[in-house]
Structure 1
């Protein structure tokens, strides 16, 4: 379960991404333009310390890009190359926002979601002391039992996907889902969203 706060983030997630995305090798679109959210899904951190959200975003007239994000209360050692930016959360304080492909917590929960079929976390917002369920903006599906532990991450990015190699699992995060084929194999996480009614591959996982 993901418990969301009624809060403001400055700069916003989309403002951070509009600045960060043009420097990625897999981004297709102009620099200096707003990006829009097309959908998002969340996973739970079992330790309840790291926020984990995957956003589908893109410029108004460009392709959809998949960006897994992790939100941390302090910098992640050794992950400077994967830092999207920092922001001020009106409830939780300073947040360090990372591309999840460089975060071992994201790698572990993604592997578990794909290989155990656990799916996305239910999202709740606290309103006047009550928890209200937030309807998801995406549907994701996965299958195949048996999720191993992952260990450290060794991520590399190319023009279509990011490969995350861990001690026990290889993960492939598709950066522009629905556009072209990604050379990957293994159990698949697929998803659909408004404007993409049929499910397309979002990520792959296979044991090493």
Structure 2
């Protein structure tokens, strides 16, 4: 379950971090502005230490998928998106999800176990009603091997994929492939 701290302030904001980082990425569409997100979803770190959130951004005729992780301590060998101050949680290091072992393990688990996005909760355990921008995510319940994340959607899993992660959201009622195992 994802714990959310309603009313928290982030400095810089997630949008500001992405606006600075995304244009530098080889998979980001050249000269594209960073738009507001169209949908998002969260996975859960079983240890409760790492926040895992994915943004789906409309760019041109497609969607760009940006998985992020939020950590209270820096880690080595992961791609740093930036740092921010969270008014409830303190200093956070923000990483590109596919470079963070916790994201990779959790996305792989969701695919293998036919998992889904998490239910969002307040710190006291009260469920937060599902928002219209929350994507519905589902793993295939099959697979093994290495996680591959589609950055630009639509995407298709290769023929040798052993498991797939799909999502739908308000603007995309037909399932889209987000990631797969090979």
TM-score by length of 2: 0.88
For 1:146 and 1:187, locate their aligned partners in 2 and report how far apart those are by CA, in whole Å. Answer: 4
SS in 1 for 2:16: helix
Q: Does 1:144 align with 2:141?
A: yes
User: Matched residue of 2:88: which SS?
Assistant: coil
Q: State which of 89, 93, 101 in structure 2 corresponds to 1:104.
A: 101
Deviation string, structure 1 residues 77-126 (Cα, Å, up to 9, x no partner): 222xx111001100111110000111001111011000011211111235
Distance (Å, rounded) in 2 between the aligned partners of 1:25 and 1:73: 27
The runs of at least 4 aligned residues of structure 1 exceeding 6 Å deviation read: none
- Sort the Cα spacing of 1:183 and 1:5 in 2 relative to 1 into closer, same or farther, 3 A: same
- The match for 1:132 is 127
Residue segments in structure 2 that go unaligned for 5+ positions in a row: none
Where do 5+ consecutive residues of structure 1 fail to align? 148-168
Query: How far apart, CA to CA, are the structure 1 residues paired with 2:146 and 2:125?
Result: 40
C-alpha separation in 1, matches of 2:61 and 2:140? 31
C-alpha displacement of 1:176: 1.2
Look up the SS of the partner of 2:46 in the other structure: coil
Q: Does 1:25 align with 2:26?
A: yes
> TM-score with structure 1 length normalisation?
0.78
- Choose between structure 1 and 2: higher strand proportion: 1
1:191 aligns with 2:167: yes
Give per-residue Cα distances to partners, 1:171-204, cap 9 Å, x unaligned.
11011122x5454622111001122110110110
CA RMSD of aligned residues (A): 2.0
